[in-house]
Every structure is written in structure tokens, then in C-alpha cells.
Amino acid sequence: METKQFKAESKRLLDLMINSIYTHREIFLRELISNASDAIDKIYYKALVDENINFDKDNYFIKVTLDKDSRTIKISDTGIGMTKEELDDNLGVIAKSGSLKFKKENEIKDGYDIIGQFGVGFYSSFLIADKVTVISKAYGSNEAYKWESCGVDGYTIEPCYKDSIGTDIILHVKENSEDENFYEYLEEYKIRTLIKKYSDFIRYPIKMDITERRLKEGSENEYEDIIEEKVVNSMVPIWRKNKNELTTEDYDNFYKEKHYGFDKPLKHIHLSVDGTVSYNAILYIPENMPYDFYTKDYEKGLELYSNGVMIMNKCSDLLPDYFGFVKGIVDSEDLSLNISREILQHDRQLRFIAKNIKNKIKSELEKMLRNDRESYEKFYTAFGRTLKFGVYDNFGAEKDVLQDLLMFYSSKEKKMTTLDEYVTRMSDDQKY
């Protein structure tokens, strides 16, 4: 067995990360599943250039296994695996990314995106674990190695046995404390919920042994626990499907599944943008105002994904306040993420997407005003006050964006009218 020390800066970063950077402990699972997906991506990419590799997608998956008795969570993948040198290189130096190196060495262009490029996600394991063990066997190697660490004191690497290519990460969960309930991460329901929340759209199956209580065969009142291996993620997000394949019912169902509201949306907007910044988005204009819309508890924002992995539940920077009622998701492979996926750089990509979304919402509302007056008036009854506030806010900076969306009651027409409609009805001698 070989014992090694983290470099001094890595020790400091590990301590800082555990205590400061990650505000939500639960994201450890998102990071490890994303890394597992990367490992499968790598062998998939190699299969594209190496005819000796037979990539049968059915043989590639991620498995999450819970063991309450030993207090462990195991995340296994059937990906490319790591050699002894790669374990030392990738896991021995914090913030050195094997995925980024792989991408550069193989000159991978856009379209074969690898999620993890910043090398610190793995260390989020220590948010909930007091010991982390990595057992890996690399593609093309007959040997397997075990990397193990209890935190900042260092790590060991030694040969071990593994019958198949891939990587197992075993987290030994910390003891509960007065302030923290770590044992909740050993609960099947909790882990399934986190997978659905953060990793539902990872492109490979994520499997778990699921316990279901069923009536015993031949019995009327006796039950037994049946354990079956099941895929717990959806894999294909609705926003990556062809619009022609989807119906209004599909969009409405997604609105309900994401708990955006109890109403039916007045309108959905499906965007697929390729260019300098590529992204997909599904946006909804609700029919009714949320009950807390005008309270300090209401949070505006869109769910933000990077290549199918959720990185923010409410990204407020994607919506101006006056369009704060819009619900939906944005997914882009082009966002610049630094250290954890939890910290998003406020860069030009994000501003570009936000500007496009603002313009698209405006044009869709104008279209609704022209072509579906009844729906627009229903929308305006719910959210007109927000648009009026947007005209006044920031000393009228957005007045030109919003003025064509405003409506006022006409004493002459006895109904709501727009400024443009009012002007077209003016008599020739009316100056103002």
C-alpha cells in the first residue's frame, strides 16, 4: 500500500470547499453521477474512433446501491475506468480535471460534451462521508486499483481485484450529529428524489434496487417486501425532443410534473437555438397568478441545466422582474461553470440567453395580443400590474420594450384597449 499526501493547496481547498463553497450537501450525488456519466462518455467516444470497441449502449449504466448496515452509498459505472496513474493524477490533486484533459488530448469538438471539466466535484463526497473508497479498472488494463481517503490527511493507493472495467465509488457516511442528519442519505426515497431532481436527464440509465411492498401471492392480508432493480431517471428531456413529436398535452403534463402551478398554462414556448451560444428552453406563461406572487417569499427564475444536469433551481438572472411570472427551464452546454456547478459565472453566455428569452417572451405576448385576444386579456388581468411596474422601474429604462403590451380601459369602447389601438381611433383633428 502506498500512502500519499494531498498537496498543501489541495488540503486548503478541500477544507474550504467542505465548509464554504457547497451550500447544499445533497449535491454530492449530482457530482458523482455526472462523473460516472463522463466515464461512459469517454468509452463511447473511444468507440467512435476505435473499431475494436463494441459500444452496446445496453451494457452501459450507472448503479446506486445503499447499505444501511455498513452505512455506505456505492455509485458504480461501466465507463472507461482509471489506471493507477490516473487515480493519483485525477484524485490526488484537487481541481485537476481528468475530463478536461481527456477532452483536450482527444480534440473533442462540440457535440461530444463531457460534463465535468473542473475536477472538484468528486470531493463533494466528503460533505457527507468520513471515508471515500474508489475501486477502478481501466479499459485495456488487466489490473485494478483502490484509492482511499479519510479527508485532508491524505490518501492511499493499492492493487485490488475488480472483475469488470469501470469505477465504484463507495462513501462511508458520517455519523449523525446534533446539527446534521447524514443518515437520511441512506434512505432509498431520499436518493431517488435527489436523482430525479438533479440527474433525471443524464443520458445513461441510473439503476437502483427498489423495495416495493406487495400482497403475498395467495394471501388476502399478508404483505412482503419485493426488491427489484429499476431505472430511476427519465434520460431524454422533453426540451431535446423534436417539437413535431410533442403535443400540447405533453407540454401541459411537463408543466404539472415540474409543479410550476396548479393551473394550465396559457401558452408554452419551445426554443432550440444553435449558434454562438446554443441552448434549449421551454417557457410557460401561466393562466393564474401564484398565490405568493406579490410577497417577499416569491422567487422568480428559470431552472438552469448544463447538458441535462440541473445546476440552479431558480436562476433569476434569466428573467427581468417584469417577466418574473414566466416558468420553465433552460439547458445549455455552453455555460461557463467554475469550481462547483453551483457557482455560475455571470458571463456573456448567460446574458446572451437572457436577452434572447426576454425578446422571445415579448414577441409571443404580442402575438397572443394580436391573434388570441381573449387569452391575452386573461393574462393581462393576472399580470398587467407587473408590466406597468416594469415601465416605471429603473426610471423607465424598459418603457419601449413594454409599452405595446399595456392595456387600459376605454370609456368609449367599454372594454380594454391598447395605446396603439387608441391612436388608430383618433380623429384627424385630435392632436394629443
Is 389 domain-assigned?
no
Residue 99 buriedness (CB in 10 A; 0-12 / 13-18 / 19+): buried
CATH number at residue 300: 3.30.230.80
Say whether both 213 and 352 belong to one domain.
Answer: no
Looking at residue 108, what is its pLDDT? 46
The pLDDT, as a whole number, for residue 342 is 47
245, 372: one domain:
yes
Out of 231, 250, 275, a domain closes at: 231
The predicted pLDDT at position 97 comes to 45
Q: What is the pLDDT of residue 113?
A: 40
Residues 248, 351, single domain; the answer is yes
CA angle 66, 307, 29 (to 5 degrees): 20
In a domain, 277, yes or no: yes
Residue 330's nearest CA partner among 351, 310, 344, 347 is 310
Q: Considering the entire predicted model, what is its pTM?
A: 0.76
Q: Examine the fold and report which residue of 199, 231, 263 is the final residue of a domain before the chain moves on.
A: 231
Pairwise CA distance, residues 312 & 331, whole Å:
11
Low pLDDT (below 50) residues in the chain: 95-100, 102-103, 108-119, 338-343
pLDDT computed for residue 344 by the predictor: 55
Does 272 lie in the same domain as 210? no
Q: Are residues 105 and 137 in the same domain?
A: yes
Residues 224 and 256 in one domain: no
User: What is the per-residue pLDDT for 16?
Assistant: 65
377's CB contacts (< 8 A; 6+ apart) are: 407, 416
Residue 277 and residue 131 in one domain: no
Same-domain status, 188 and 249: no
Give me the pLDDT at residue 265, please.
Answer: 94
Domain containing 307: what range? Answer: 238-380
Residue bearing cell 492511499? 156
| Residue 154 shares a structural domain with residue 30 | yes
Tally of domains within the chain: 2
C-alpha cell of residue 44 = 463511447
Residue-wise pLDDT for 76-93, tens only, equals 999 999 999 999 888 766
At 104, which helix (H) or strand (E)? helix 98-105
Write the CATH number for 10.
3.30.565.10
Task: Name the residue among 201, 205, 186 with its Cα closest to residue 76.
Answer: 205
Domain co-membership, 216 together with 155:
yes
Q: Examine residue 341 and state whether it is found in any structural domain, yes or no.
A: yes
Residue 188 in any domain: the answer is: yes
383 Cβ partners below 8 Å, 6+ apart? 289, 325
Angle subtended at Cα 405 by Cα 399 and Cα 406, rounded to the nearest 5 degrees: 80
Among the candidates 355, 380, 405, a domain finishes at: 380
Domain-embedded: residue 416: no
DSSP 27-61: HHHHHHHHHHHHHHHHHHHHHHH-TT----GGG--
Is 405 contained in some domain?
A: no
Q: Calculate what percentage of the chain has a pLDDT beyond 70.
A: 86
Rounded Cα distance between 157 and 160, Å, is 9
- Contact criterion met (CB below 8 Å) for 318 and 304: yes
Q: Let me know if 239 is exposed, middle or buried by CB neighbors in 10 A (0-12, 13-18, 19+).
A: buried
Tell whether 304 and 321 lie within a shared domain. yes
Position 116 scores a pLDDT of 40
The reply to whether 307 and 244 lie within a common domain is yes
